[in-house]
Amino acid sequence: MTGPYDVCIRGDGIVGRTLALHLAAKRLRVALVAQPGPNPAHSDVRAYALSPASRQLLQAVRCWPDERSATPVTAMQVQSDDDGPAQVQFHTPSDGAEALNWIVDVPSLERLLADALRFQPLIALHDSPQPATLRAVCEGRRSSTRQALGVDFDVAPYGQWALAGRVRCERPHQQVARQWFSHGNVLALLPMEGADGTLCALVWSLAPDQAGHWQTANPEALGEALFKATHGCLGTLTMVGERKVWPLQAAQAQRWSGTQAHSDGSPQSWVLLGDAAHTVHPLAGQGLNLGLGDVAQLVDTLDGRPYWRNVGDLKLLRAYERARKAEFALVGGSGDALQRIFSQSQPALQAVRRIGMQAFDRSPLKPWVTRRAMGAAPSAPR
């Protein structure tokens, strides 16, 4: 298929591919521009906690992995080691919900999306930008297109790096996601390989020097450190495969939509999605969920437009931007507040945290927070 296209998507990661498939399902002509990927010689250790809303979005384009690659989480335990015996537990609601969320293996999901693209005739893959009514930018937080558009990206570093990898546990994880706050660090073990699995995805937020140390430390030493940090709740822990590190930050683009003049002076509309528009701390597991929420909102907005408006109509794009900024303010702001609260080490604040966690665990507010974290909104496009 050749142009002209309705939408040119810059970036072929999970957000970009999902957007392309949903737009094509609405009979829009899409150009998907690939960007340089990771070195295939290195394994991909990423795993995401995806909400029921994100699962519905991916199922709608038949790209949901099987249970070995998308493990349902039926409970979550959050513990603060700084504050004495303080713990909050979440469980799947008893109203028919299948899980709190699913821990999804990124390479498996990316393969399904790549296969689906090959069978969609309204999507064309390109290695350079193509003329289109709307440019959708899904290139990630280092987006070169966002920089070329002159959009400011407000970044607030956390002073932490994430260490990610895979851990083989002595005991089954029992579909429980576990998280520990300790001296400003956040350690999460996320269940993988299905209901009876013993593999967990590790995400450990640490000071940069600590993250660098544990990235290159021998597996036995790291396993011992993790055993201590998790109080041996899953028995002996053995590192599997490679480890990755990256800096953590909260960030938001000042504008998520607009127009830019072509070389001939005519305007072209653009819109930002995913990490090109916003990034959050991984402690709440909402990064990709926010990006897929962007996809759902944009597809709904474009699909519901009056027949006289094209997909680049700035009024439509402003409506998308307002809706998603409001969602990001709630979800991103909550995660940022949690990180800053638990990164403090003053004794008085530790006591307040302990009392607050104990009270919240018994609070009638907890079911609402559980539902909100499960992604009760937004839903998949109609």
| pLDDT band at residue 267 using 50, 70 and 90 as cut-offs | confident
Q: What is the CATH number of the domain that holds 57?
A: 3.50.50.60
> Each residue of 301-339: pLDDT tens digit?
999 999 999 999 999 999 999 999 998 887 765 555 555
> Each residue of 58-95: pLDDT tens digit?
999 999 999 889 999 999 888 877 655 567 777 777 66
Tell whether the model's pLDDT for residue 1 goes beyond 60: no
- Give Cα separations from 25 to 14, 116, 131, 274, 378 (angstroms): 17, 12, 20, 20, 19
Q: What is the pLDDT of residue 134?
A: 97
Cα–Cα distance between 20 and 31 in angstroms, integer? 8
Would residue 379 count as lying in a domain? no
| pLDDT band at residue 201 using 50, 70 and 90 as cut-offs | very high
Would residue 164 count as lying in a domain? yes
Residues 6+ apart with CB under 8 A from 233: 178
Cα–Cα distance between 169 and 188 in angstroms, integer? 13
Number of domains into which the chain is organized: 1
> Each residue of 6-54: pLDDT tens digit?
999 999 999 999 999 999 999 999 999 987 665 554 567 889 999 999 9
Instruction: Tell me: cis bond preceding 4? Omega within 30 of 0 counts.
Output: yes
Token reading at 154: 């407000």
Would residue 382 count as lying in a domain? no
**For residue 21, which of 72, 69, 75, 59 has the smallest C-alpha distance?**
59
For the stretch 93-102, what's the b/e string if a residue is b when 16 or more beta carbons lie within 10 angstroms of its beta carbon? eeeeeebbbb
Collapsed DSSP state (helix, strand, coil) of residue 107: helix
Rg (C-alpha) for the chain, rounded Å, is 21
Q: What is the pLDDT of residue 182?
A: 80
Would residue 380 count as lying in a domain? no
**For residue 138, which of 250, 35, 26, 241 has the smallest C-alpha distance?**
35
Q: Terminal CA-to-CA distance of the chain, rounded, Å?
A: 27
Q: What is the pLDDT of residue 63?
A: 97
Cα–Cα distance between 83 and 180 in angstroms, integer? 11
Q: What is the pLDDT of residue 377?
A: 43
Would residue 303 count as lying in a domain? yes
Would residue 316 count as lying in a domain? yes
Would residue 170 count as lying in a domain? yes
Token reading at 217: 């430390």
> Each residue of 359-377: pLDDT tens digit?
555 555 545 555 555 555 4
Would residue 381 count as lying in a domain? no
- Residue 302, domain extent: 5-373
